[in-house]
Amino acid sequence: MNRSELAQTLEDRASTLGTLPVVTGFDGFVDEMISVVDERHSLDQYRRVETIADLGNQISAAAGHSSLREIILNQIDPGGCAINMGDGLATLGLPVTTFATVGEPFHPAFADYGTKAQLVSWGSEPGRTLAFEFADGKLMFSAVSQLQKFHPDALAEYLRDGQFRKSCEQAHLIAITDWTLYPHMTLCWKYLRENVFSHLKSPRFFFDLVDPTTRSESDIRAMLSELSRYEEHGEVTLGLNQNEANILSQLTGSSHPKATDPTTATSQAASLRKALGLHTVIIHSIRYAVGASAKESTEVWGPYCENPKKSTGAGDRFNAGYALGKVLERPLRDALQLAVASSGFFVRHGHSATSDDLCQFLRDWDTA
């Protein structure tokens, strides 16, 4: 299906989106969006450090002596993959219930999100991320010691009122995000699988790990083993960015341990899917997205944006677009096309797309 046809299909189904609930969990972060000043010209004018490589050169040049750099705090946003993906889905028009570490009471950063989605706090204190944004990507530094409290013992209390299970029973997709920054998340996945998900009727799962670079090989292997167990209960999609896919490929002995283009990334996704025993694996970079299931493998090019208005959260809007395709039961290629359109709109406008926005973006693709 071409993009114009996909836009028409989405337009035709727009009135049904409110009947397709989604659950997201479990990470809630307060994100501080930061630029680094390269040269200040006046009180209100400055040139920022444009690329990560430029900042790296400046840091290297400072080795052996002190250095000072001014930063600009551009805004404070509600963050976390569960929140950002939920925002993408809710803005598209899907009913979203999010269970996340957003504070008790909610941190003020989540006030607006709480008007878009049903938000349930599963943590007394959110994580905190300093997100340094550049034209070619972002560097994120997270404070996460408070997330040690997210543990099966705490989950037992959170599950007591039955709200999570009821929401999952009604959901057309359950998105589970951010394994990396929660030290007990593998145990939490196991606890939820045994006590909630094993009792559901053919749930559809979506997982986003977040960059596992800082975790040990043994931790990653234990997580992947538990992830594979979810296929016993429902269909699982694992969503990865290209760096994350390369890490897992090296760990699992993939024949494509470091993909850098859509052709090898497609083979990489197929290899990972087979190695992990999952229904679908998708991989995205800033220029393309690929996916592999037992039935098909496919690749799509994204609408690359050279100067993004906002990049933090773009991957989560990609996930929201993909999830939209899944709950609409579209083929894998269509779901990936919706995913890259959703992230493409986000980086250009700095906010999530409505379904009308997404339809128009698909139609205007060549001029975006």
Per residue of the chain (368 residues), what is the pLDDT tens digit? 899 999 999 999 999 999 999 999 999 999 998 999 999 999 999 999 999 999 999 999 999 998 999 999 998 989 999 999 999 999 999 999 999 999 999 999 999 999 999 999 998 899 998 989 898 888 989 888 999 999 999 999 999 999 999 999 999 999 999 999 999 999 999 999 999 999 999 999 999 999 999 999 999 999 999 999 999 999 999 999 999 999 999 999 876 778 889 999 999 999 999 999 999 999 999 999 999 999 999 999 999 998 898 888 999 999 999 999 999 999 999 999 999 999 999 999 999 999 999 999 999 998 87
The enclosing H or E element of 306 equals none
CATH placement of domain 3-35+78-367: 3.40.1190.20
Q: Are 311 and 241 in contact (CB under 8 A)?
A: no
Whole-angstrom distance, CA of residue 24 vs CA of residue 178: 11
Widest Cα–Cα separation across the chain: 62
Q: In what order do the strands lie in the sheet with 96-100?
A: 118-121, 96-100, 22-26, 173-177, 204-208, 235-241, 280-284, 288-293, 297-301
Q: Are 83 and 121 in contact (CB under 8 A)?
A: no
The enclosing H or E element of 29 equals strand 29-40
**β 204-208/173-177 pair status:** parallel
Q: Angle 81-92/332-349 helices, nearest 10 degrees?
A: 100
Identify the residue whose tokens are 């098909």: 296
Whole-angstrom distance, CA of residue 258 vs CA of residue 243: 8
Confidence at residue 116, expressed as pLDDT on a 0 to 100 scale: 97
Q: Angle 332-349/3-13 helices, nearest 10 degrees?
A: 90
Whole-angstrom distance, CA of residue 17 vs CA of residue 21: 8
Whole-angstrom distance, CA of residue 48 vs CA of residue 165: 47
Q: Angle 242-252/217-229 helices, nearest 10 degrees?
A: 90
Q: Would you call 187 helix, strand, or coil by DSSP?
A: helix
Whole-angstrom distance, CA of residue 331 vs CA of residue 47: 45
Of the candidates 130, 126, 149, the one whose C-alpha atom is nearest the C-alpha of residue 139 is 130
For the CA atoms of 193, 197, 198, 201, the dihedral, rounded to the nearest 10 degrees, stands at -160
Of the candidates 152, 139, 138, 155, the one whose C-alpha atom is nearest the C-alpha of residue 99 is 155
Omega before residue 26 within 30° of 0, cis: yes
Confidence at residue 140, expressed as pLDDT on a 0 to 100 scale: 87
* Pair of tokens at residue 277: 């025993």
Q: Are 148 and 183 in contact (CB under 8 A)?
A: yes
Return the DSSP state at 140.
E
- One-letter identity of residue 83: I
